[in-house]
């Protein structure tokens, strides 16, 4: 009996060790910023190996590097979409709201046009995970709690009112219209009275009905509204990923979607346009084809599978 228990303990230990990401220092990660910007899969791998605090710091460094890049505004915006999407997927458990706040604080306002729309559709849409239906009350609370974190971070960013409103737009779009008064509720939580007035009367209406962000961008003295079709052509194809519930996830940090490679029964063919990776009911697996508990990846194809599955 003792031998059986010992063997079971060894197996559990081996699985836990395989799931635990290798730790990477912020200094080492910073030396790979160019590669992270070039390939979202690399960005995801790097972020998954950092501590929660370093994840946030690294995302800020990457966004600053993109801002300094040559090229057109559309090209830079596409990069912001790629790397920030990858960063959200790899965020440690309990750290996703902080990562989201860093995105809204460090991406230029004109590029937040694309970020709010893509995030609302591909990452935080409340209808993505059919197995984890969320009530209007629960969604509203989650949005308000996350907005409080975003607003706190934006206190030290330029144009905080515009940035906060972009985050509100993301949650309103991701809500799919319910509850109908969500926009008003989130606007009421904005700390500045002038911003509340502008958001309610001049900003949110045009942005939602006509996708006209010029009033917001003008208030921030930002660049012109980007051409979304062009950005979507330049950005990597984004699969739908159900991580909305992770915004309220508690527990110890270090358990990210990328580092533990979870799959749910709802997952469709990797790399397909309708791929969904659920944030709930996940089963940990390894991508290492040499491991005996690898049941999904053909021998020698782990790297290709990882890259395709995370584009």
Q: Give me the mean pLDDT over the 92-110 stretch.
A: 97
How sure is the predictor about 304, in pLDDT bands with cuts at 50, 70 and 90?
A: very low
Whether 284 shows a pLDDT value over 80: the answer reads: no
Domain containing residue 242? 12-309
Angle between helix 73-90 and helix 109-122 axes, rounded to 10 deg:
40
pLDDT per residue as tens digits for the range 120-155: 999 999 988 766 678 999 999 999 999 999 999 999
Name the token pair of 155.
């206190």
1 in any annotated domain: no
Q: How many CB atoms lie within 10 A of CB 11?
A: 12
Whether 33 shows a pLDDT value over 80: the answer reads: yes
239 in any annotated domain: yes
78 in any annotated domain: yes
301 in any annotated domain: yes
Determine whether 47 is exposed, middle or buried from the number of CB atoms within 10 Å of its CB (0-12, 13-18, 19+): buried
Percentage of the residues of the chain whose pLDDT score is greater than 70? 71
Q: How many domains does the chain have?
A: 1
Whether 298 shows a pLDDT value over 80: the answer reads: no
Q: Quick one: pLDDT at residue 225?
A: 94
Q: Quick one: pLDDT at residue 185?
A: 98
In the three-class reduction of DSSP (H, G, I as helix; E, B as strand; rest coil), residue 271 is classed as coil
149 in any annotated domain: yes
217 in any annotated domain: yes
Angle between helix 40-48 and helix 73-90 axes, rounded to 10 deg:
40
82 in any annotated domain: yes
Q: Quick one: pLDDT at residue 237?
A: 81
7 in any annotated domain: no
pTM for the predicted model, two decimal places: 0.75
């Amino acid at each position: 009996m003792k031998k059986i228990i010992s063997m079971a303990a060894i197996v559990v230990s081996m699985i836990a060790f395989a799931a635990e990401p290798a730790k990477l220092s912020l200094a080492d990660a910073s030396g790979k910023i160019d590669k992270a910007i070039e390939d979202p899969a690399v960005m995801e791998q790097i972020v998954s190996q950092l501590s929660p605090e370093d994840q946030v710091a690294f995302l800020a460094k990457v966004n600053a590097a993109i801002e300094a890049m040559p090229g057109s505004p559309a090209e830079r915006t596409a990069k912001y979409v790629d790397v920030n999407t990858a960063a959200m997927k790899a965020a440690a458990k309990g750290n996703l709201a902080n990562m989201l706040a860093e995105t809204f604080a460090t991406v230029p306002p004109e590029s937040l046009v694309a970020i709010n729309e893509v995030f609302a559709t591909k990452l935080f849409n409340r209808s993505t995970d059919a197995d984890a239906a969320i009530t209007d009350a629960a969604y509203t609370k989650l949005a308000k709690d996350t907005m409080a974190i975003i607003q706190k971070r934006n206190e030290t960013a330029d144009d905080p009112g515009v940035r906060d409103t972009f985050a509100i737009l993301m949650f309103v779009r991701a809500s799919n219209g319910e509850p109908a008064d969500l926009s008003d509720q989130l606007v009421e939580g904005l700390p500045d009275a002038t911003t509340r007035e502008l958001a309610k009367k001049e900003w949110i209406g045009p942005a939602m009905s006509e996708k006209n962000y010029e009033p917001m961008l003008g208030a921030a003295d930002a660049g012109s509204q980007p051409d979304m079709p062009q950005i979507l052509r330049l950005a990597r194809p984004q699969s739908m990923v159900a991580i909305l519930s992770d915004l309220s996830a508690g527990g110890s940090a270090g358990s990210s979607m990328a580092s533990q490679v979870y799959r749910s029964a709802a997952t469709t063919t990797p790399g397909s346009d309708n791929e969904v990776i659920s944030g709930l009911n996940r089963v940990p697996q390894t991508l290492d084809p040499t491991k005996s508990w690898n049941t999904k990846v053909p021998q020698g194809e782990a790297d290709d599978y990882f890259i395709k599955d995370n584009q």
